[in-house]
Structure 1
Amino acid sequence: MQDPAHFLPSFVWRADRDGVIRYANPWTARYLGRPATELAGLHWKIFVHPDDIDPVLDAVRQMRDGTLLGNVEVRLLRADGAYRWHTLHLQAQLDANGRIGDTMGVATDIHEARHAWAMYEASERRLKAAFQGARMGAWEWDMKNRVVRMTSQLAQLYGFPAGTDAIGLSDLWERIEPEYRELFAQKLDEALQHGGPFELDLVLDGGSAAPRWLRMRGHAEFDAHGTLAHVYGVSFDISKQRAAEQQLSLSERRYRALVESTGALVWSAAPNGDIRARGDDWSRFTGDEVVHLSDWGWLDYVHPDDRDSARQTWLEVLRRGQPGSSQFRMRRHDGQYRMVNAQAVPLFDSHGKLQEWFGTTTDVTAKHEAQAAIEARNLRLSVAMQAARMVIVTLDLASGTLSVESGAATAGNHPLTYDDALRRVHPDDRATLEHHVRTLVAGGEPAANFEFRVQRAAGELWMQGSTLLQRGVDGKPLRIIASVIDITQRKQLELMLRETDRRKDEFLAMLAHELRNPLAPLRTALALLDKQSDAQAPAPGLIDLMRRQVEHMTRIVDDLLEVSRITHGRIVLQLEPVLVGTAVYHAVEAIAPMAEARHQQLQVNVCDPTTWVNGDITRIAQIFVNILNNASKYTPENGRITVNVEADDESVYIVTRDTGTGISAELLPKVFELFSQGERTLDRASGGLGIGLSLVKKLVEMHNGTIAVHSDGPNLGTTVTVRFPRVHQQQRHAAVALSEPASEAAGSVLRMLIVDDNRDAADSLAMLCESEGHAARVAYSSAQALDVAPPFAPDVALLDIGLPDIDGYELAKQLRRKGETKPLLIAITGYGQTEDRLRAQAAGFDYHFVKPVNIDSLLALLASVTAGGGKRSGLD
């Protein structure tokens, strides 16, 4: 019995694992035009289109994943050499080892169906494109269900959301301009009553945009009972047509008004040149009756000085038989001569024979005078350009050439290639200038102004320019026009200002450093006064007053130094996890005496006492102390200050509110500027240098945070909000001394060597040490210190760093040789940066104090040394 595939009218074959055909049915042989016996042994690729071989192989590979059936659309080669589309059904057979052995292929011809579907899709695309290009959409009104069905193009025209294909009639009605609805309804009713095709125009409600006009063409359909059932039609956008019609109407009105306003004389002439005036224009202008102007009678009205020129020009126009014009002066009815422009155009018949001349004579006196004024203005502009050292540069994008106009009368135009011009630009500025040009040509919006340097043998010039891109009627870039001004003098002034600013910063830093020296003995003297007996000491209030002023001066000096360090990038944060609540409470404790003295209420609310941020504990404390100090300073007595600490998963917010004087709207945008202040009172109660918030903002930003200040106005309080990124760690901060000195033997008296070239600072510090029962020796230079130290054998040495002969670092090395433990070395210096501490540690110092010395910390350290502890306690 034969294989059933033998009788199938389909393309059937079987191939082995290597793709070699082992069987082909008669239909396949007839289709391919080859006997079945000849096909056996050939590869199936011979009748598959080369581009479709990979899809067939992909289908076979997919069958290896467990699926033994697969379909793919391919083109098969017919006997006549044509490829036809088929759906190829593949079925695999497994061999004894479970692998794919033979593969059976059955192909069904889908060529005509595929072609028909492609034609249908193409037709749909053309219809959609036609609708889209014509801005047209089709619609159907279902009058019984009050529903409108529409194409996507129509939905777009009406402004409905994408995908809308059906809406209610009422929704469509709402899209019509309200003022036009009643008229539209009347016209629509009249059109539907006739039952035939109709055409209506309507205007859509455009809101704030320009209204959109649509034209509807439709046909009504009635049911067997004569009731309106459906209305079919199309609508298309005629907004441009309406606008064009309105523009044309406006243009015509303008033209009529223009002709009437110009008062041009309209005339004609015979082919031989005899001129004939038309209408009353000639009479109104000359004041004479219209007469026949043959024999060149019109020349009688021309200024005597212009007659010969006017006559020769008219003869030349007649000779050439082409349009021409002439300007001359012509007498008006009041006896004045007016500059006129006469234009003549020849009119030919269909055979090219001259029939007559048509001409106009227009009073151009105003234009003539304006031209003279323009020439005068151009002269003034040229003078101004030279005075401003300005040039106009035009870059032709097609030719790549530049022309330069300097405004000088003799300069003229100097064409230059773009590459040559670019070579004159400073090498560091060429890339920026080229980027500006490319961005402008590409349609981008580069910076309004740009600067570059031009190299000359006589010296370098700084130029500033602004550009404009000019496009052609087709929208393509044509040329770049730039105005370029010489700003060399301004740039030199800017460099001078920058140098002045740098020197100012250096002066502030030096000023702050130098102020530490007198502050040190003042603080020490106050500590000594505190130790005197009640009978000897001044009034306690006087000491407190002096202490407050010294501390205030110290904060000002610290702020000056901090601003200078931040400005020059010399601050390096020592980042570690910090408890925000603890930092806030410490800041509150620091300003509590100030608040108590002013009878102010301080309230702190911390939502979560375990909220951490990553920061420098010293700088964060500095931030909060400055903010609270400002709040207390600008809040009157009996006022209130609240601090709220809030947090979310990402950030921590510290919000400080006060009931103080507030900030005016004029000052609020400037509160973070250096030396910016509000208006001071006469008693300077709210005085200061205006650097606190500037310093705070810089420190907050160094911690990747933000700060914002808000006030509703004067006397309405101020709110300061600081935000830091939150971290979820719990690591505590531990401060250590520069090194771990050996423990001193317990005792009550220390031999102390004090070295400082500031005599007041050295003497007052010695007096303070002696008041504690210690023995002190003073040296005012490194040389004196080296003489005094061997016989004195100090236990502790307090050394100033900035000594005039040998600095404190070298003196420390000489006072305590390597391997020794005495004396205990303490640095007393005005330099307190991290690098200063590291340098002091490298020189062998055990502790580091910044002037003015915190007396309590110093005495605590000395007490720990006498007790044999050798541990650091609250050092600056």
Structure 2
Amino acid sequence: MNSSNLPAAGVPTEQRFQTLFEQAPFSAQLLAVDGRTLQVNRAWQDLWGTHAGDPLLEFVLSGYNMLTDPQLEAKGVTAYLRRALAGEAVRIPAIHYDPVEMGKPGLARWVEATARPITAPDGTVAEVLLIHEDVTERLTAERQLRQSEAQFRTIADAMPQMVWSTLPDGHADYYNKQTYEFTGLPPGTMSGERWADIVHPDDRQAALDTWSQSLSTGEPYEVEYRLRHRCGEYRWVLGRALAVRNENGELVRWMGTCTDIHEQKRARDELLASNRRKDDFLAMLAHELRNPLAPISTAAHLLKTSSSDPAKVQRSAQVIERQVRHMTELVDDLLDVSRVTRGLVELDRGPVELKAVLADAIEQVRPLIDSRGHELSTRMPPGHVHVMGDRPRLVQIVSNLLNNAAKYTPPNGAVSVTLAAGQDVEIRVADNGTGIERDLLPHVFELFTQGARSPDRVQGGLGLGLALVKSLVELHGGQVSAQSAGQGLGAAFTVTLPLLAIGHPVAPTSGDLMSLPPAARTLRVLVVDDNKDAADTLGMLLETLDHEVHLAHDSARALEMAENGSFDACVLDIGLPGIDGYALARRLRAQPFGATATLIALTGYGSAGDRHRGNAAGFDHYRVKPADLGELARLLQQGRGEQGVA
């Protein structure tokens, strides 16, 4: 306030009061005891946007009575004024005033006021002084803030994540609805301490350390930890928070979220575990395929250097035969599990007697069981037990389970096979071997899964047997399950199949033992294979059976030979250069001898589609390399009497 505008000393008190009233920096309105406005100051006029001669000012100073104004009565102002007129200083809360409501021009305002009585010497109230405070901007800002907060809460509650905020010191002051729905805690009861209580004990310290680091540096917060869900289980969440700063760069708040990543993390962990199993499998595959190559290479060298020693030749041949058989089994497992798991195998269904199936499976695995010194026990129900299925595949199921039990049981262990028939048929193969770890048990039927191998590495194989068992059992409409009390406590596998009620017994069948039968008659045989070693060795074998063998390494040469002579049988590869084996078979059938010649496909292509193409091309038999040589010899002897691609 400019001192030059103040009255000088000696100026009457009344004049001094008038000057101070007029120049006061706050809006002042002086009321008479009957509610009329006696006087207003310049700040009052500025507050309402009026001035001398303005209709609003003239109206207020010309008999307007605040005590009788119905609008002020409705706003509750009158009750406050009466208290002031009774001698009480009162604070009138913020009220919205609009001069337009009185039919006068002026600015609408939110105003808070203090009403102070002015008393006469005798103590009676002579006047009331109203001091106004314009709170329009404050209330507008507060309203906008409330609207912003309401909007934020609406957005936060609509988010699938848990949303939270804290003060700069990390003290939490907000959690959204999703937080309470996830945790199951009553709304409004969450706090930093309660949050720490529901974090998994193993993750609590790491989460706290990361949070403390962010609080001290202002760096973004990010950590994965397990949080207790309302159902009681701990679920993995991803916690994140960013610092909120003002225009001066000062940290004023932390805004954070927690996202439920339990399923994604479990899927990620399972994928990583699957990749590890796949890597282990590939390493094992390389090992298992390389192992037989060493004795085969050595035996081949011995055959070259010791051809004059019949004993060494015999032993070398036996080594090669065993190792090739082993490699064939590995490759067959790979191809078999690929075809079965992709649904490319069609079962040759018919009534099958299961006791005979179990007998054949035991016979297959008996050498391994005996070599390990295991005691094998069986328990069978009386009478015949039948199912509808593919007999070789059922034998494969049981032999795989028996093979698994024998491999994972230490020497001199016990293996049992139990067959039970009720509404369904149950085949149970149990052992007292190494057992199955709890973490591995749910995965034993998955591809690339194997238990720990013992130092003697008797287990061998690629770990595909159980995956194959599961797929084959399900193709038969059954189920397979694994049970184990833990490592070192043995394991049991149970196959459940639908029982087939049958009125008459079905004679059990069993595969004939494969051997090389002597030739009943000498045949003129054409062997066609672009693999020279394969053609030469097969030719030598057939010659040892007293057949006349002619070799060709491509289709053009084979056709040239066919035009110059006839053949009783032709053994053809499919993947030949130029003209493939299917086209070659058709052209050989067109030769004069083709109507009576036996055509056998011997190839590495073994899918169902390949076999159908072989049938259409005119092959009598279709065999996948390496074929059983004893069976091949018998097929040659059969001629065309029993045809059919299989």
Normalising by structure 2, what TM-score?
0.52
Give the secondary structure class of the aligned counterpart of 1:831.
Answer: coil
TM-superposition CA deviations, 1:519-575 (whole Å, max 9, x none):
9xx89x99x98xx99933548776655544433332332232223223433222111
Higher relative contact order (CA 8 A, sep 6+): 2
How many residue pairs match? The answer is 404
TM-superposition CA deviations, 1:749-780 (whole Å, max 9, x none):
32221111222221221122223332222211
Cα gap change, 1:274 to 1:833, in 2 (>3 Å): same
CA distance in 1, matches of 2:147, 2:450: 53
Is the contact between residue 450 and residue 463 of structure 2 (CA under 8 Å) also seen in structure 1?
yes
Match of 1:585 in 2: 359
Cα gap change, 1:766 to 1:715, in 2 (>3 Å): same
TM-superposition CA deviations, 1:292-336 (whole Å, max 9, x none):
97355x4xxxxxxxxxxx77627789x99xxxx989899xxxxxx
TM-superposition CA deviations, 1:237-259 (whole Å, max 9, x none):
xxxxxxxxxxxxxxxxxxxxxxx
Shift of 1:576: 0.6
Match of 2:630 in 1: 856
The reply on whether 1:271 has 2:79 as its aligned counterpart is yes
Q: 2:475 aligns with which of 688, 691, 702?
A: 702
CA distance in 1, matches of 2:327, 2:151: 63
Q: 2:376 aligns with which of 602, 606, 630?
A: 602
TM-superposition CA deviations, 1:128-162 (whole Å, max 9, x none):
xxxxxxxxxxxxxxxxxxxxxxxxxxxxxxxxxxx
Q: 1:757 aligns with which of 530, 553, 577?
A: 530
Give the secondary structure class of the aligned counterpart of 1:602.
Answer: strand
Match of 1:572 in 2: 346
Shift of 1:273: 2.8
Cα gap change, 1:797 to 1:869, in 2 (>3 Å): closer
Match of 1:675 in 2: 448
Match of 1:805 in 2: 578
Cα gap change, 1:639 to 1:652, in 2 (>3 Å): same
Match of 2:589 in 1: 816
Q: 1:779 aligns with which of 537, 552, 558?
A: 552
Match of 2:438 in 1: 665
The reply on whether 1:551 has 2:333 as its aligned counterpart is no
Counterparts of 1:112-261 in structure 2, within 5 Å, are none
Is the contact between residue 809 and residue 840 of structure 1 (CA under 8 Å) also seen in structure 2?
yes
Cα gap change, 1:326 to 1:611, in 2 (>3 Å): farther
Shift of 1:723: 1.3
Shift of 1:665: 0.7
Counterparts of 1:453-532 in structure 2, within 5 Å, are none
Normalising by structure 1, what TM-score?
0.40
CA distance in 2, matches of 1:835, 1:640: 43
Give the secondary structure class of the aligned counterpart of 1:604.
Answer: strand
Shift of 1:701: 0.9
Shift of 1:644: 1.3
Match of 1:727 in 2: 500
Q: 1:313 aligns with which of 91, 95, 104?
A: 95
CA distance in 2, matches of 1:617, 1:786: 40
Cα gap change, 1:734 to 1:601, in 2 (>3 Å): closer
Is the contact between residue 797 and residue 823 of structure 1 (CA under 8 Å) also seen in structure 2?
yes
CA distance in 2, matches of 1:590, 1:539: 28
CA distance in 1, matches of 2:111, 2:428: 81
Match of 2:386 in 1: 612
CA distance in 2, matches of 1:593, 1:642: 16
Cα gap change, 1:578 to 1:327, in 2 (>3 Å): farther
Match of 1:642 in 2: 416
CA distance in 1, matches of 2:528, 2:443: 45
Shift of 1:790: 3.4
Cα gap change, 1:571 to 1:783, in 2 (>3 Å): same
CA distance in 1, matches of 2:401, 2:111: 81
Match of 1:294 in 2: 88
CA distance in 1, matches of 2:434, 2:627: 34
Structure 2 counterpart of 1:273, which letter?
Answer: L
Match of 1:845 in 2: 619
CA distance in 2, matches of 1:559, 1:847: 22
Shift of 1:824: 1.7
Is the contact between residue 639 and residue 659 of structure 1 (CA under 8 Å) also seen in structure 2?
yes
Match of 1:627 in 2: 401
Cα gap change, 1:292 to 1:663, in 2 (>3 Å): farther
Match of 2:131 in 1: none
CA distance in 2, matches of 1:698, 1:844: 33
Shift of 1:369: 12
Shift of 1:583: 1.2
Cα gap change, 1:605 to 1:295, in 2 (>3 Å): closer
Give the secondary structure class of the aligned counterpart of 2:499.
Answer: strand
Cα gap change, 1:637 to 1:681, in 2 (>3 Å): closer
CA distance in 1, matches of 2:111, 2:420: 85
Counterparts of 1:36-185 in structure 2, within 5 Å, are none
CA distance in 2, matches of 1:386, 1:727: 53
Give the secondary structure class of the aligned counterpart of 2:577.
Answer: coil
Is the contact between residue 676 and residue 690 of structure 1 (CA under 8 Å) also seen in structure 2?
yes
CA distance in 2, matches of 1:731, 1:386: 63
Cα gap change, 1:793 to 1:669, in 2 (>3 Å): same
CA distance in 2, matches of 1:693, 1:371: 65
CA distance in 2, matches of 1:369, 1:677: 67
Give the secondary structure class of the aligned counterpart of 1:657.
Answer: strand
CA distance in 2, matches of 1:856, 1:369: 95
Cα gap change, 1:783 to 1:660, in 2 (>3 Å): same
CA distance in 1, matches of 2:313, 2:93: 115
Counterparts of 1:395-474 in structure 2, within 5 Å, are none
Is the contact between residue 794 and residue 822 of structure 1 (CA under 8 Å) also seen in structure 2?
no
CA distance in 2, matches of 1:374, 1:690: 62
CA distance in 1, matches of 2:111, 2:311: 108
Shift of 1:853: 1.0
Is the contact between residue 307 and residue 313 of structure 2 (CA under 8 Å) also seen in structure 1?
no
Is the contact between residue 576 and residue 733 of structure 1 (CA under 8 Å) also seen in structure 2?
no
Give the secondary structure class of the aligned counterpart of 1:273.
Answer: helix
CA distance in 1, matches of 2:470, 2:334: 14
Is the contact between residue 626 and residue 696 of structure 1 (CA under 8 Å) also seen in structure 2?
yes
Cα gap change, 1:602 to 1:381, in 2 (>3 Å): same
Is the contact between residue 274 and residue 295 of structure 1 (CA under 8 Å) also seen in structure 2?
no
Give the secondary structure class of the aligned counterpart of 2:496.
Answer: strand
TM-superposition CA deviations, 1:407-433 (whole Å, max 9, x none):
xxxxxxxxxxxxxxxxxxxxxxxxxxx
Cα gap change, 1:311 to 1:370, in 2 (>3 Å): closer
The reply on whether 1:832 has 2:606 as its aligned counterpart is yes
User: Identity percentage over the alignment?
Assistant: 40
- Structure 1 unaligned runs (5+)? 1-267, 277-290, 299-309, 331-363, 388-484, 737-745
Cα gap change, 1:554 to 1:315, in 2 (>3 Å): same
Q: 2:335 aligns with which of 552, 561, 566?
A: 561
Match of 2:489 in 1: 716
